[in-house]
Amino acid sequence: MSKLKLSQLSAFSRAESHLRQQTAVGGVVTVLGALLALALFWHETSHFWRLHAVTKLSVDLELRHDLPINIDFAFPAIPCAALSIQILDVAGTSQSDTSAAKEMDIHKARLDKSGKPTGEKEYVTPKSESLVDTGAMGEVMNVNIPAAMKHLADVEQEVGRHEGCRLSGTVKVKRVAGRILISTHKLMVFQLFPQLLGEHRVPLVNNMSHSIHHLSFGPAFPGLVNPLDHLQRILKDQLLSFKYFLKVVPTEHHSRRGKVTETHQYSVSEYALPVSVDSMGSAIEFNYDLSPIVVNIDANPPSFLHYLVRISAVVGGAWALVCMVNHHIHALLNIQPSNWVHIDASRMNGAY
Ligand SMILES: *[C@@H]1O[C@H](CO)[C@@H](O)[C@H](O)[C@H]1NC(C)=O
């Protein structure tokens, strides 16, 4: 009975030194193999360090509440007083900057003729409308005539100075389909009661040239692209109204450090409609709707252990390949080791 020796378990069988020999072909193959292994090692390592994200889609099962919209728009040809922002949605919300809307945190900065901030205080829209809850009858719009008259006077004054306006801030809307309407002359009361105007005339402001510095739904994360950012539409000869249709996609981003950002991405299409020169007002409309699919972006890299496994596989594989190629080349060339016999013979000579 033969005893199992520890050395018999060894996977590394060693050929006797006189059976081993080095050939030029073997050297070339080894160098090529080493280069291959190095290239693969480099590829794996750079792959490990590069930022990558895994994106998953699923139906949004979260119970969510409000949708924050961050805006920053500039209108070089519309004075702040004449510009109004209004939110309308299928849930029945109707709020604007002329009513004291709580969910609207919008600031209006005055711009001069050349589009630079005038440095004056921000324009505060007179609150000419207010919603009054009457109980049984629901909410009723109340109009404040003195505020509306002040608003009109502001418009006249600012139009005369060729002012522009930068509109920025955040509005919170319900998570239903809706639209943000940025228009001139939301001076409803004068449309309803033109006799109130008296001597005054509502000036024509309908050049809806605009720059969208920023439009996003929620906080940003690295790699987020807002397709409308830095868009500019300057109307040279034809006056247009604009409609943007946005599909908002809830997105959860997990950073490398484990920080979770709940936000949204969006896709957009744009349409423009001609406006006649004498039309009272024009508008930009952002129609938004929410996607029922949530996108999960995971920026966590593969684990270090995973990286080690891959490195071992890649380098080991390259080595095995080199051995195989070496073997085949030698078999193919059928290299007769010329000095093999010689050494052997000399040894034998010595032995006898
Ligand atoms: C509209 O306003 C822009 C920016 O001030 C200006 O460059 C453009 O000429 C105006 N267009 C018309 C038709 O008045």
Mutate to test the pocket of ligand 1, among 234, 237, 278, 282 (most ligand atoms within 8 A of CB): 234
Q: Mutual orientation of helices 24-49 and 304-333 as an angle, nearest 10°? A: 160
CA of 115, closest atom in ligand 1: 5
Provide the pLDDT for residue 180.
Answer: 92
Provide the pLDDT for residue 134.
Answer: 66
**For residue 24, is pLDDT > 50?**
yes
- In this predicted model, what pLDDT tens digit does every residue of 135-152 receive, in sequence order? 666 666 677 778 877 888
* More reliable by pLDDT, 340 or 146: 146
**For residue 351, is pLDDT > 50?**
no
Q: Which residues line ligand 1 (CB under 6 A)?
A: 76-77, 207, 209, 234-237, 239
Q: What are phi and psi of 16, to 5 degrees?
A: -60, 145
Closest C-alpha to 214, from 66, 64, 115, 68? 68
Provide the pLDDT for residue 135.
Answer: 66
pLDDT bucket at 265, cuts 50 / 70 / 90: very high
Neighbours of 151 (CB within 10 A): 23
Mutate to test the pocket of ligand 1, among 236, 239, 277 (most ligand atoms within 8 A of CB): 236
**For residue 69, is pLDDT > 80?**
yes
Provide the pLDDT for residue 165.
Answer: 92
Averaging pLDDT over each range in 9-13, 28-32, 99-103, 340-344, which range is the top one?
Answer: 28-32
Provide the pLDDT for residue 301.
Answer: 66
Expressed in angstroms and rounded, the spacing between residue 239 Cα and the centre of ligand 1 is: 9
pLDDT bucket at 16, cuts 50 / 70 / 90: low
* More reliable by pLDDT, 332 or 14: 332
Which residues does residue 330 pair with via DSSP β-bridges, in sequence order? Answer: none
- In this predicted model, what pLDDT tens digit does every residue of 163-220 receive, in sequence order? 899 999 999 999 999 999 998 866 556 666 777 777 777 777 888 899 999 999 999 9
CA of 207, closest atom in ligand 1: 1
Phi-psi region of 274 (alpha: psi -120 to 50; beta: other; left: phi over 0): beta
0.75 exceeded by pTM:
no
* More reliable by pLDDT, 114 or 109: 109
**For residue 80, is pLDDT > 70?**
yes
Percentage of the chain exceeding pLDDT 90: 28
Closest C-alpha to 176, from 348, 295, 13, 291? 291
pLDDT bucket at 279, cuts 50 / 70 / 90: low
Provide the pLDDT for residue 352.
Answer: 46
The closest residue, in CA terms, to atom 12 on ligand 1 is: 236
Provide the pLDDT for residue 179.
Answer: 92
Average pLDDT score over residue span 321-333 = 84
| Least confident stretch, 85-99, 169-183, 226-240 | 85-99
Provide the pLDDT for residue 290.
Answer: 94
